[in-house]
Amino acid sequence: MNDALSVTNLNNELDGQPFDGLIKNAGIMGQGNATRGNIDYTAWQNCLSTNVLGPTRVAETFSDNIIPSKQRKLITMSSRMGSIAATSAPNSVVYRSSKAAVNMVMNILANDLGPQGVIVTSFHPGWVRTDMGGSTTPNSPQVSAGCIRQIIADLGPSDNGAFLNYDGETIPR
């Protein structure tokens, strides 16, 4: 997603072919211990590039492929840590701000594409056993993905702009 040329080349290969859904899954922690007085601004820029600019680039490039499709679903993997309303922690400013930013972009895209029938939704996958989540987290990737897959299948127009947990719970932006 960070390589604009790769995204452009894929768009050229698809040559306008419609597809029902697009799931954008990009996430790096950046600087996990970032707090006031301890921010690595280069890490923050890299995190914003991967977590915000990459998904935005892909959404912008391929939205014209989604508009003429049957299901019209544009999905972004985000994080509960990007919820401004639910944040009380003083840490992870780099990651949290990047996920809050991608949530805002997807909300704007929901406003833009919703009138054309596209459902734009962000998901929190839960705390998942991955390189980022760690090996002792409660959810396997299979459980998280299976739950999200089912929710995506059932999404309707009223879900446009939603920010959802992997179990379907609505997360405040």
Provide the number of structural domains found in the chain: 1
DSSP run (H or E) holding 23: strand 21-24
Domain that holds residue 87: 4-13+22-165
Q: Phi/psi of residue 79, each to 5°?
A: -160, 145
**pLDDT above 90 (res 94):** yes
Q: Is 166 noted as a catalytic residue in this protein?
A: no
- Encoded tokens for 46: 């890299």
DSSP 3-state of 6 = helix
Query: Alpha-carbon distance 74 to 4, whole Å?
Result: 19
Dihedral over alpha carbons 73, 78, 79, 80 (to 10 degrees) = -50
Structure confidence by residue, pLDDT tens digits, 45-93: 999 999 999 999 999 999 999 999 999 999 999 999 999 999 988 999 9
Residue 134 lies in a domain: yes
Residue 171 lies in a domain: no
Query: Are the beta carbons of 81 and 92 closer than 8 angstroms?
Result: yes
pLDDT, position 141: 77
CA distances from 47 to 54, 88, 101, 106, 124 (A): 10, 21, 11, 17, 17
Catalytic residue of the set 47, 66, 77, 95: 95
Structure confidence by residue, pLDDT tens digits, 19-40: 999 999 988 999 988 999 999 9
Residue 114 lies in a domain: yes
Residue 170 lies in a domain: no
